[in-house]
Amino acid sequence: MRADRLVAALLLLQSRGRLTAAELADELEVSVATARRDLEAISSAGIPVYPQAGRGGGWALVGGARTDLSGLSAPEAQALFLLVGPAAAVSVEAKSALRKLVRALPVTFRADAEAAAGATMIDATRWGERDRPRSPLVDLLQECVVRRTRVRLVYAGVGREESERLVEPWGLVDKDEVWYLVAGTDRGRRTFRLDRVVTAEPTDEQFERPDDFELEEAWAEVVGEVEQRRSQTWATLLIETRFVRILRDHFGRHCHVEEDRADGRSRVRVGAPTPLDIARTLAGWGGDVEVLEPDAVRDQLGRIGTELAARYA
Reported as a pLDDT band with limits 50, 70 and 90, residue 67 is: very low
CB atoms within 10 A of CB 294: 14
pLDDT tens for residues 48-58? Answer: 777 777 666 78
pLDDT digits (tens, 9 = 90+) for 73-91: 556 655 666 655 565 554 5
Give the count of domains, the chain.
3
Do 130 and 150 have their domain in common?
yes
Higher pLDDT, 166 or 250: 166
Asked whether the beta carbons of 59 and 49 are under 8 A apart, the reply is yes
Q: Which of 79-88, 178-187, 237-246 has the lowest mean pLDDT?
A: 79-88
Answer yes or no: pTM beyond 0.85: no
> What is the DSSP-derived secondary structure letter of residue 135?
P
Domain region containing 148: 123-217
Whether the CB-CB separation of 259 and 222 falls below 8 Å is answered with no
- Same domain, yes or no, for 140 and 210? yes
Identify which of 216, 269, 262, 208 has the alpha carbon closest to the alpha carbon of residue 238.
Answer: 269
Secondary structure E strands in the chain: 18-19, 49-52, 58-61, 120-123, 149-156, 162-175, 178-185, 188-193, 197-206, 233-240, 255-260, 265-272, 289-293
Cα–Cα distance between 126 and 293 in angstroms, integer?
A: 26
245: pLDDT strictly greater than 80: yes
Q: Which of the residue ranges 10-19, 28-37, 187-196, 291-300 would you say has the lowest mean pLDDT? A: 10-19
pLDDT at 275 over 50: yes
* pLDDT at residue number 22: 87
Residues 12, 103 within the same domain: yes
Query: What Cα–Cα distance (Å) separates residue 70 from each residue in 42, 93, 113, 233, 262?
Result: 17, 21, 12, 55, 62
Boundary (domain end) residue, out of 87, 116, 145: 116
Most confident residue range from 102-106, 139-143, 211-215, 275-279 = 275-279
Residue 224 is assigned to a structural domain of this protein: no
Domain final residue pick, 152, 183, 217: 217
The pLDDT confidence band at residue 66, using thresholds 50, 70 and 90, is: very low
Q: What CATH number is attached to the domain comprising 59?
A: 1.10.10.10
pLDDT at 212: 87
Per-residue pLDDT of 110-157, as tens digits, reads 566 666 556 666 665 555 555 566 778 888 898 888 788 999 999 997
Query: What whole-number percentage of the chain has pLDDT above 70?
Result: 72
- Residue type present at position 233: T
